[in-house]
Structure 1
Amino acid sequence: MSLIGGIVVFSITWFVVLFTVLPWGVRTQQEDDHVAPGTVESAPVNPAIWKKMLATTIITGILFGIFLWTVEYGIIDYRSIVNRNA
């Protein structure tokens, strides 16, 4: 896999994992019984975005490592799968 291909796969995977991690542990203002004036009730109380971005990077690193390992050692031949379906 080329460097650019690896960056693209990592970036796409990172954003997919981010959108799965974002709802973890979110409490809304309505659940916390304290709605700040001028905000909606469904706004998060403490989104902890930096922790979620760190968790996203760690999870993506593990998934990308597994993917890279399968590609580099030919465990799964992705090119034959793509060429067969084309």
Structure 2
Amino acid sequence: MIVRQQGGLTEFIPSPQEKREGVLRDHTLRMLENLDARLRRIEEELGLPLNEAEAFSKIMARIHREEAEARRINRKLMDSGLDHTEST
């Protein structure tokens, strides 16, 4: 994270590596969801048991919850950091 301070304001800028990692993570999650949907349709069409598909869906739901929580925490930290710098 690159931190830039100017005139009492603090700006948090993701480094190029952090941006790249975020893009890759998001893209990978979308690809996995797409693959899961396609495999699920095939399994349903063939009448295969959906135990593994359901387990994967639970894992993806957990990942989404954790990602949402991380975004919430980051937003809270950014907001508290802005409040702190404005008062100084």
TM-score range, shorter chain: 0.3 to 0.5
| Normalised TM-score (structure 2) | 0.37
| Normalised TM-score (structure 1) | 0.38
Q: Which has the larger share of strand?
A: 2
Q: Which has the larger share of helix?
A: 2
